[in-house]
């Protein structure tokens, strides 16, 4: 189903220019909700703390909100909107540009502290291409930042769902599933090389792995039909995860380090504490050998055998790179499903 032009909240991207998107809240459809783990663990775990730079900025941002703004931006922690992840949506109607200058600066501070230095540069370029820049995005606050109660700050817009939660959502990296994508230079239909796409370096590394596979491995790794381009595709399955694709455990001593490089490339855009939590989640779920790598024939731009869509999955790890007609990336990582 194609998206009606300029409608945030649909499951596909608009063909219109970035300034023409209508900023309206999409319905919080249950079909695109990924359940999150709610309870806070007493055990110390890797991940951000309430005192991490992004989270302290969230607390300062929360304090600046007026009573009328809190009615627009703030929700109880257990509100179902918090668990949504979508590719193009306005979690609340107002944009960052409609806030005070102080609040805009705090949102930028939160966002910057969620990223690595290079990741921030790439996200910034992506936001300019896709939505007219950072100040066109939307943020919401769940719970009570700056207290001992759980909270989460969520930013959404075209090609982004990002979170800061201070580990309020125990056992879930990023505080829940997230999304990132890019239509490079505003092109809905990218060329086979994904020219200027800030995330295609990840696809290049995945295809380097595919190029090393023998015929038997390729027969396992490559399937015809891609999974849906939405949050249903990253619901964690635990030990019931489908045995689709090629098990990393079947790779040789030269190929496995390439998977480790792919994991490093996937994590590169994000702050160190989130990367540490991803690593810990992966270890707790059995390590990289429990993952499966799958490539999809469907959506092969240019029919060049360079696979634009692929995914890496495990019992509590799902990272889906849907690179056709441009890049959509869905991810959900936890300690257990």
The pTM is what? 0.88
* CA-based nearest residue to 130, from 92, 201, 182: 182
Report how far residue 46's alpha carbon sits from residue 192's, in angstroms, rounded to the nearest whole number.
Answer: 38
**What is the model's pLDDT at position 10?**
45
CB 149 within 8 A of CB 77: yes
**What is the model's pLDDT at position 40?**
38
**What is the model's pLDDT at position 337?**
85
Report how far residue 205's alpha carbon sits from residue 113's, in angstroms, rounded to the nearest whole number.
Answer: 26
**What is the model's pLDDT at position 242?**
79
**What is the model's pLDDT at position 42?**
38
Q: What angle do CA 177, 178, 179 make, to 5 degrees?
A: 140
**What is the model's pLDDT at position 44?**
61
Spans of all domains in the chain: 18-173, 200-333
**What is the model's pLDDT at position 272?**
97
pLDDT tens digits, the chain, 337 residues: what are they? 333 333 344 444 433 333 333 333 333 333 333 433 333 343 467 899 999 999 999 999 999 999 999 999 999 999 999 999 999 999 999 999 999 999 999 999 999 999 999 999 999 999 999 999 999 999 999 999 999 999 999 999 999 999 999 999 989 999 999 999 999 999 999 999 999 999 999 999 999 999 999 999 999 999 999 999 999 999 998 988 778 999 999 999 999 999 999 999 999 999 999 999 999 999 999 999 999 999 999 999 999 999 999 999 999 999 999 999 999 999 999 998 8
**What is the model's pLDDT at position 273?**
97
CB 234 within 8 A of CB 331: yes
């Amino acid at each position: 189903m194609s998206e009606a032009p300029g409608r945030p909240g649909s499951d596909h991207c608009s063909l219109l220019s970035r300034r023409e998107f209508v900023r309206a809240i999409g319905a919080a459809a249950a079909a695109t909700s990924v359940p999150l783990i709610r309870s806070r663990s007493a055990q110390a775990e890797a991940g951000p703390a309430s005192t991490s730079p992004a989270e302290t900025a969230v607390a300062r941002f929360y304090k600046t909100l007026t009573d009328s703004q809190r009615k627009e931006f703030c929700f109880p922690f257990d509100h179902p909107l918090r668990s949504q992840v979508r590719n193009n949506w306005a979690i609340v109607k107002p944009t960052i540009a409609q806030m005070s200058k102080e609040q805009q600066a705090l949102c930028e501070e939160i966002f910057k502290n969620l990223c690595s230095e290079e990741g921030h540069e790439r996200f910034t370029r992506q936001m300019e291409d896709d939505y007219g820049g950072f100040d066109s995005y939307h943020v919401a606050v769940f719970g009570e930042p700056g207290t001992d109660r759980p909270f989460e700050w969520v930013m959404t817009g075209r090609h982004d769902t990002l979170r800061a939660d201070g580990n309020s959502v125990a056992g879930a990296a990023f505080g829940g599933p997230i999304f990132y994508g890019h239509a490079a230079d505003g092109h809905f239909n990218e060329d086979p090389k994904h020219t200027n796409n800030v995330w295609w370096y990840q696809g290049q590394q995945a295809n380097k792995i595919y190029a090393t596979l023998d015929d038997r491995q390729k027969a396992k790794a490559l399937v015809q039909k891609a999974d849906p381009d939405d949050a249903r595709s990253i619901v964690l399955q635990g030990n019931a995860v489908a045995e689709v694709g090629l098990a990393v455990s079947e790779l040789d001593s030269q190929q496995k380090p390439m998977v480790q490089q792919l994991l490093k490339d996937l994590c590169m855009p994000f702050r160190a504490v989130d990367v540490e939590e991803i690593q810990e989640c992966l270890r707790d779920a059995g390590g990289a050998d429990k993952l499966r790598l799958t490539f999809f024939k469907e959506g092969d731009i240019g029919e060049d055998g360079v696979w634009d869509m692929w995914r890496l999955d495990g019992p509590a790890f799902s990272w889906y790179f849907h690179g056709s007609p441009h890049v959509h990336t869905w991810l959900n990582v936890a300690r257990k499903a």
